[in-house]
Amino acid sequence: MPKNLPVVAGDALTPDECADGSPGEINVDEPHRHLDAHPQETSAQRAEEKVTALNELAGRFDKVEDQLAEFHRRSAHRESVIDLLHEENQQLRAGISRAILEPVVADLIRLYDQIDREVHRLKADGQDVRLLWSFTDDIAQILDRCGFEIYSAEPGDPFDRDRHRPLAVVTCSDESRHNTVAEVGAVGFAERETGRVRRPVQARFYQYTPADEPVDCGAAQSK
């Protein structure tokens, strides 16, 4: 097929000439030359636009990630503040309760000791102490509801500075008994939840005395 075609009738120019007087012909390859003028430049622009779009998208993701990290940081800080306030509130409530109950607990402990001593005196006289001893049980239950429990010691238990209070010493030649409980004089009281000693066990403790010194084993001496 010929590349040059005559201009059809009705055009502004005659079939025989163009505006410059040359024969009127149309080159069919001319449009393709215009479309393919800069193919490499167009591909480069598209690639650059894609890179720019990806960079913008990555920047937005980074901002979202930073916002999420800040949100989690603030949430963790808020939770720590809530936990701290809760702990302080619990300590405040415990402190108020302790301050209110302190005089009551002190009076109950003193009453328990008085009844306990009377029970031991009556028992030594051979009298029935069951009724009187029942009052000590009632006091122990009241103290238990206040958060305090009774604890004691057994003969032979080693001395514990935090839970024992020496009333006197009992000299003895048996070195294995040194600084052990000889006799309990009064029970102790401690907070059930914290274990804090309210009043330590009062007891007499053995004290070892070498054999070359005078020994009165079993005799109590005031400290």
* pLDDT digit string, tens, across residues 85-128: 878 777 777 667 677 888 889 999 999 999 999 998 998 888 88
Percent of the chain with pLDDT over 70: 75
CB 177 within 8 A of CB 139: no
3 pLDDT higher than 50: no
Percent of the chain with pLDDT over 90: 33
pLDDT at 71: 85
Q: Domain map of the chain by residue range?
A: 151-223
* pLDDT digit string, tens, across residues 162-204: 999 999 999 998 899 999 999 999 999 999 888 899 999 999 9
pTM (predicted TM-score): 0.53
Dist CA 190 CA 144 (whole Å) = 10
Angle between helical axes of 39-124 and 130-145 (0-180°, round to 10): 160
* pLDDT digit string, tens, across residues 135-144: 999 999 999 9
Other CB atoms within 10 A of residue 200 CB: 20
Non-local CB neighbours of 153 within 8 Å, separated by 6+ positions: 163, 164, 181, 184, 188, 201, 203
Letter for the amino acid at 209?
T
* pLDDT digit string, tens, across residues 24-70: 554 545 544 444 545 566 887 887 888 888 888 888 888 888 888 88
